[in-house]
A and B are shown apart, each in its own frame.
Chain A
Amino acid sequence: MSNSESTLLEERIDQWRSYLLRRQAIGSLDVIELEDHLREQIDHLMTAGLDTDEAFLVAVKRLGALDALSREYAVEHSERLWKQMVLPDGAERASRGNSKEAILVLCLAVAAALLIKLPVLFGLRIEDHTAIYARNISFFVLPILTGYFAWKRGLRGGAIRLFAAGYVLAAVFANVYPFSGNGNTEMLTVLHLPISLWLMVGMAYAGSRWNQVAGRMDFIRFSGELFIYYVLIALGGGVLTAFSAMIFDAIGVYSEDFIATWLLPCGASGAVIIAAWLVEAKKSVIENMAPVLTRLFTPLFAVLLLVFLGAMLWTGRPIDVQRDILIAFDLLLVVVLGLLLYAVSARDPLSPPGPFDVLQVVLVIAALLANGAALWAIAARISEFGFSPNKVAALGENVVLLINLAWSAVLYIRFLRRRGSFAQLERWQTDYLPVYAIWAALVVIVFPPLFGYA
Chain B
Amino acid sequence: MDINKELTAASSTPLVLAILAEGDSYGYAILQRVRELSGGRIAWTDGMLYPVLHRLERYGYIQARWQVAENGRRRKYYRITTDGRAQLAEERRQWQAVDATLRNIWKAFMLALPAGNHTTAAFVRQGAI
Contacts and interface: CB of A to CB of B under 8 A. Distances in A.
Contacts of B27: 33, 36-37
Interface in B16-66: 26-28, 45-48, 50-51, 54-55, 58
Query: Which of B47, B54, B58 has the most C-beta atoms of chain A within 10 angstroms of its own C-beta?
Result: B47
A30 interface: yes
A33 B45 contact: no
Interface residues of B, number: 17
Contacts of B47: 34, 37, 63-64, 69, 72
A30 B50 contact: yes
B76 interface: yes
B12 to A, nearest CB: 12
A382 B36 CA distance: 93
Query: Which of A30, A37, A41 has the most C-beta atoms of chain B within 10 angstroms of its own C-beta?
Result: A37
Contacts of A384: none
Contact of B54 (A32, A64, A77): A77
B45 A36 contact: no
Given A39-B73, A40-B28, A76-B55, A33 B50 contact: yes
B125 interface: no
Contacts of B92: none
A75 interface: yes
B41 to A, nearest CB: 16
A156 interface: no
A32 B48 CA distance: 15
Contacts, number: 55
B75 interface: yes
B28 A41 contact: yes
A73 interface: yes
A39 to B, nearest CB: 7
Interface string A53-85: 000000000111000110011011100000000
Nearest to B76: A33
A32 B69 CA distance: 13
Interface string B95-123: 00000000000000000000000000000
Given A37-B50, A63-B46, 13 more contacts: A32-B74, A36-B26, A36-B28, A36-B74, A36-B76, A39-B73, A41-B28, A64-B45, A72-B47, A72-B51, A75-B51, A76-B55, A77-B51
28 contacts: A29-B76, A30-B50, A30-B54, A32-B74, A32-B76, A33-B27, A33-B50, A33-B75, A36-B27, A36-B69, A36-B76, A37-B27, A37-B47, A37-B50, A39-B73, A40-B28, A41-B28, A41-B46, A64-B45, A64-B46, A64-B47, A69-B45, A76-B51, A76-B54, A76-B55, A76-B58, A77-B51, A77-B54
Interface of B: 26-28, 45-48, 50-51, 54-55, 58, 69, 73-76
The 5 A-B residue pairs with the shortest CB-CB distance in the complex, in nearest-first order: A64-B45, A64-B47, A63-B47, A72-B51, A76-B51
